[in-house]
């Protein structure tokens, strides 16, 4: 069944079926990498929560879960460049294999800061999994280890991604019309 296009979107970039297939592939890749190890999956709130929930179900090895909330956007379409930790980990990560699960790697400023902060806590390893990678806008020297999709320099929403806390519940990912955030 074809999804109805939300009126604030220009078009659907990835359908829910395309996303589901790619999440399964990522889950298999991570399973192969961490087989025989216990992985700590750290979901970055709020945007990654939908992807995170689907991804951890696609990973078929021992894992523990935790969350962090960081902020650098607020209600804007542009990062402020200042990263704030809103919610820190509950788990001690010393000596553990950590997988940071993020919705989108854009400028990289947030993930660069987060990786540096977590490295100070002496994990065995830190890897990054992002569903969307927008390389055109990279301002920090950081790459994801697992990438769902390379995307163009456009503002996307749906499947957990938002603009001003709207559109997170869309089952697909679409390009937000500039008339919406140009107001």
| Under 8 Å between Cβ of 171 and 159 | yes
State pTM to two decimals: 0.91
User: Which pLDDT band, with edges at 50, 70 and 90, does 11 fall under?
Assistant: very high
Q: Report residue 143's pLDDT band, with 50, 70 and 90 as the boundaries.
A: very high
What pLDDT is stored for residue 85 in this prediction? Answer: 92
Q: How far apart are CA 127 and CA 179, in angstroms?
A: 37
pLDDT at 4: 67
Residues 47-72: pLDDT tens digits? 999 999 999 999 999 999 999 998 77
Q: Looking at 97, 103, 106, 133, which residue is catalytic?
A: 106
Q: Sorting pLDDT into bands at 50, 70 and 90, what band is 81?
A: low
Distance CA 178, CA 102 (A): 24
* Helix locations, the chain, DSSP H: 16-34, 49-58, 109-119, 178-181
DSSP symbol at 116 = H
Q: What span, in angstroms and rounded, lies between the C-alpha atoms of 175 and 17?
A: 17
Per-residue pLDDT band for 8 (boundaries 50, 70, 90) equals very high
User: Please, which pLDDT band fits residue 108 given cuts at 50, 70 and 90?
Assistant: very high
Architecture of domain 16-153: 3-Layer(aba) Sandwich (3.40)
* pLDDT band at residue 1 under the 50/70/90 scheme: very low
The pLDDT mean for the chain works out to 92
Question: Does pLDDT of 145 surpass 80?
Answer: yes
How do residues 13-37 score in pLDDT, each as one tens digit?
999 999 999 999 999 999 999 999 9
* 111 burial type by CB count under 10 A (0-12 exposed, 13-18 middle, 19+ buried): buried
Active site residue 103: no
């Amino acid at each position: 069944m074809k999804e109805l296009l939300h009126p604030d979107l220009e078009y659907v970039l990835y359908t829910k079926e395309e996303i589901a297939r790619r999440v399964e592939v990522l889950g298999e890749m991570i399973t192969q990498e961490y087989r025989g190890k216990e992985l700590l999956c750290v979901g970055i709130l709020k945007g990654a929560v939908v992807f995170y929930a689907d991804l951890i179900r696609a990973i078929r090895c021992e894992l523990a879960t935790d969350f962090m909330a960081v902020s650098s956007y607020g209600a804007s379409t542009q990062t402020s460049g200042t990263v704030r930790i809103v919610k820190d980990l509950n788990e001690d990560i010393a000596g553990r294999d950590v997988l940071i699960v993020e919705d989108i790697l854009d400028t990289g400023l947030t993930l660069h800061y987060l990786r540096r902060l977590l490295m100070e806590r002496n994990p065995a390893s830190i890897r990054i999994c992002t569903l969307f990678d927008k390389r055109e806008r990279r301002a920090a020297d950081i790459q994801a280890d697992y990438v769902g999709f390379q995307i163009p320099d456009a503002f996307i929403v749906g499947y957990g991604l938002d603009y001003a806390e709207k559109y997170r519940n869309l089952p697909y990912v679409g390009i937000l019309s500039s008339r919406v955030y140009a107001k």
